[in-house]
Structure 1
Amino acid sequence: MRFGNTLGKKCLVVHAHPLPNSFNTALRDAVVESLNLGKREVISIDLYDEGFRPELSLQEKIGHLNSIAEKPLINDHTKKLQWADHLILVHPTWWGGAPAMLKGWFDRVWVNEVAFTLPPGNANIKGLLSNIRRISVVTTHGSGPFRNRLQGLGSKRTPLRGLRLLCHKRCQTDWLAMYYLDRSDLLKRNEFLERVRKRFS
């Protein structure tokens, strides 16, 4: 099956913002509500709300290439990642990139035997998440696109280039960004909310 511009049937929404009453949380809610209206299977993870620990411990780093069976603390997250065919990340862009909470989720959950495997010798890394056929990012920026480009587009390149390489070879990507959030009014925010709703309907 080719996705083209369609949405997945099994959608994993990962949200990273500490404030439950933030505009970013409203964006997450809009994504989930639209997907549910479209009769899709949805699993939503709120990393802050569940108290996810983003820091990679010393023991995790030492055992980075160990079997996933030796990493029970992230078992729930890895199963959800392996279940999904559409990964949707909802987060603010801070200092040119994703929040540390989400970056820690990449570090701790996208691990050996889940997201990739390293063949013996000098062979290239092999992606294992062929189940994921689309990655979407919904994010906000306090500043404009020019400043974000100067900062390196970290919140865009990491998932849509780096993570994508570990997914289906024809994995599609979406980038929905609202710039100048800090100076936006209610009308602008509602316009972006509506854009998000339509994209995930």
Structure 2
Amino acid sequence: MKTIIYAHPWKGSFNHAILSAITEDLKANGETFQVIDLYKDEFNPVFTAAELKLFNVGDTPYELVKEYQKKLNQATELIFIFPVWWWDLPAILKGFIDKVMLTGFAFLEDSKTNELKGLLTNIKKTTIISTSTTDKLYIESQGGNAIQGVFINRTLADLGIKNEYTKWINFSGVNLTTDENRKLFLEEVPQRI
């Protein structure tokens, strides 16, 4: 099942238009999918003391985290939709990774080598769709590159989501482009995932 993880608070945003274009295409093609809308769900990305107390044993008192884990267990494909803010993922998406990807669910740690073994091997394909005011090549050239270098090559890989099945599509200059370019992207993006 395709699972979309959406992280933008404003329904008038281009990110929301991307979400709508993809979900409308999936419906038109009769595909089964589910959406995790972090802002709509009022997901709290901040750890509480009670949550952190359970973190090392892979548990959580937060029912929404358990619901997200069920959805991720059903997923064979992930589609992330988010804006790049300050060269990185939005805080709500980082909090989603921190709080949902718990030991025993998303990974195991070898006590001797401290290496991680990813457990989300049910995910066979991942597409990251981001928007930015800056050009993707500029983002990629910056030291560390939080999207490709950290999120895709490290975080997702450590969770068992293989890089060779992960694609990053970025819509650059979202604030400067024309409505014509936005419309073209919205028409093309469902075929690119």
| TM-score (norm. length: structure 2) | 0.89
Q: What amino acid is aligned across from residue 158 of structure 2 in structure 1? A: L
- Residue from 53, 72, 77 that aligns with 1:81: 72
The offset of 1:78, in angstroms, is: 0.7
The offset of 1:125, in angstroms, is: 1.4
- Contact 1:66 1:112 survives alignment (8 Å): yes
Gaps of 5+ in 1: 1-9
Q: Given the alignment of the two structures, is residue 164 of structure 1 paired with residue 141 of structure 2, yes or no?
A: no
- Residue from 34, 53, 61 that aligns with 1:62: 53
Q: What amino acid is aligned across from residue 190 of structure 1 in structure 2? A: K
Separation in 2, partners of 1:174, 1:97: 17
Gaps of 5+ in 2: none
Deviates more, 1:38-47 or 1:75-84: 38-47
Q: Given the alignment of the two structures, is residue 196 of structure 1 paired with residue 185 of structure 2, yes or no?
A: no
Q: Which residue of 1 aligns with 2:178?
A: 185
Tell me the secondary structure at the aligned position of residue 27 of structure 2.
helix
Q: Given the alignment of the two structures, is residue 43 of structure 1 paired with residue 34 of structure 2, yes or no?
A: yes
Separation in 1, partners of 2:15, 2:163: 29
| TM-score (norm. length: structure 1) | 0.86
Separation in 2, partners of 1:50, 1:69: 17
Q: How many residues align?
A: 191
Deviates more, 1:166-175 or 1:36-45: 166-175
The offset of 1:20, in angstroms, is: 1.1
- Deviation digits for residues 57-77 of structure 1 (CA, Å, limit 9, x no counterpart): 233233222143766451101
Q: Which residue of 2 aligns with 1:5?
A: none
- Deviation digits for residues 17-58 of structure 1 (CA, Å, limit 9, x no counterpart): 110111110101112222222322101111111100011223
Q: Matched residues, percent identical? A: 29
